[in-house]
């Protein structure tokens, strides 16, 4: 091994990463004027039970990026298999993401989306640089799950669990 770092083609890397199956979340937050905002995200993980922590990874180029500041709040909504349209909407830059969407504010003020199978409410505790993304660690202040079937994402396509 020469120790040289191989250049990896970003499109090829995206294709390979697409072989890792995930659920789909919509992460909601509020801007500095209290307006709801959010984005579709599958870079989410449960990080720690004690203390209760979770992390997400947010593209530095996202329009809603500036909402992810220390001490601000966010909520991770776990989408159900019928919510593909919600996922597409929150993955579309410039979309009117909350138009005709049924939601209510959680205890932290960020949106809880009707029909999601679970959600966690967080307060932003730490942010770490992650290349073109920022790793955002949230302290979980509330968690709930109603059950149901999840929306999945694999090889660039939405999927459901086999029945």
Ligand X SMILES: Cc1cc2nc3c(=O)[nH]c(=O)nc-3n(C[C@H](O)[C@H](O)[C@H](O)COP(=O)(O)O)c2cc1C
**Where on the chain is the footprint of ligand X (CB under 6 A)?**
24, 39-43, 57-59, 62-64, 90-93, 153
Give me the least distance between CB of 81 and ligand X, in Å please.
14
CB closer to ligand X, 62 vs 125:
62
Whether 27 and 134 have beta carbons less than 8 Å apart is answered as no
Report in angstroms how near the CB of residue 32 gets to ligand X at its nearest.
15
Among 98, 47, 45, 104, which residue's Cα sits nearest to residue 76?
Answer: 45
Between 59 and 139, CB nearer to ligand X = 59
Task: Provide the minimum distance between the beta carbon of 50 and ligand X in the complex, in angstroms, as a whole number.
Answer: 25
The least CB distance from residue 4 to ligand X, in Å, is: 29
DSSP for 111-132, written as a single string:
EEETT-SEEEEEEEEEEEEETT
Query: Strand ranges (DSSP E) for 9-116?
Result: 22-23, 25-30, 36-41, 44-48, 53-59, 73-78, 103-105, 111-113
Q: For the chain, give me the number of helices (H) and strands (E)?
A: 2, 12
Residues sharing a CB contact under 8 Å with residue 50, sequence separation 6 or more, in sequence order: none
Name the residue number minimizing CB distance to ligand X. 43
Q: How far is the CB of 143 from ligand X (least distance, A)?
A: 19
Q: Per DSSP, what are the bridge partners of residue 22? A: 153
62 vs 127, which CB is nearer to ligand X?
62
Residue with smaller CB distance to ligand X, 40 or 77 = 40
Beta carbon nearer to ligand X, 50 or 120: 120
């Amino acid at each position: 091994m020469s120790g040289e770092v191989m250049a990896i083609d970003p499109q090829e890397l995206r294709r390979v990463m697409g072989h890792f199956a995930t659920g789909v979340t919509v992460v909601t937050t509020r801007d500095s004027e209290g307006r709801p905002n959010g984005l579709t995200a599958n870079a989410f993980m449960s990080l720690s039970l004690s203390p209760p922590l979770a992390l997400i990874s947010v593209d530095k180029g996202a329009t809603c990026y500036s909402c992810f500041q220390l001490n601000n709040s966010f909520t991770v909504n776990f989408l159900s298999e019928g919510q593909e349209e919600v996922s597409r909407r929150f993955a579309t830059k410039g979309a009117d993401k909350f138009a005709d969407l049924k939601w209510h504010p959680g205890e932290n003020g960020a949106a809880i989306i009707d029909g999601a199978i679970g959600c966690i409410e967080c307060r932003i505790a730490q942010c770490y640089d992650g290349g073109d993304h920022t790793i955002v660690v949230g302290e979980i202040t509330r968690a709930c799950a109603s059950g149901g079937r999840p929306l999945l994402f694999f090889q660039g396509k939405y999927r459901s669990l086999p029945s």
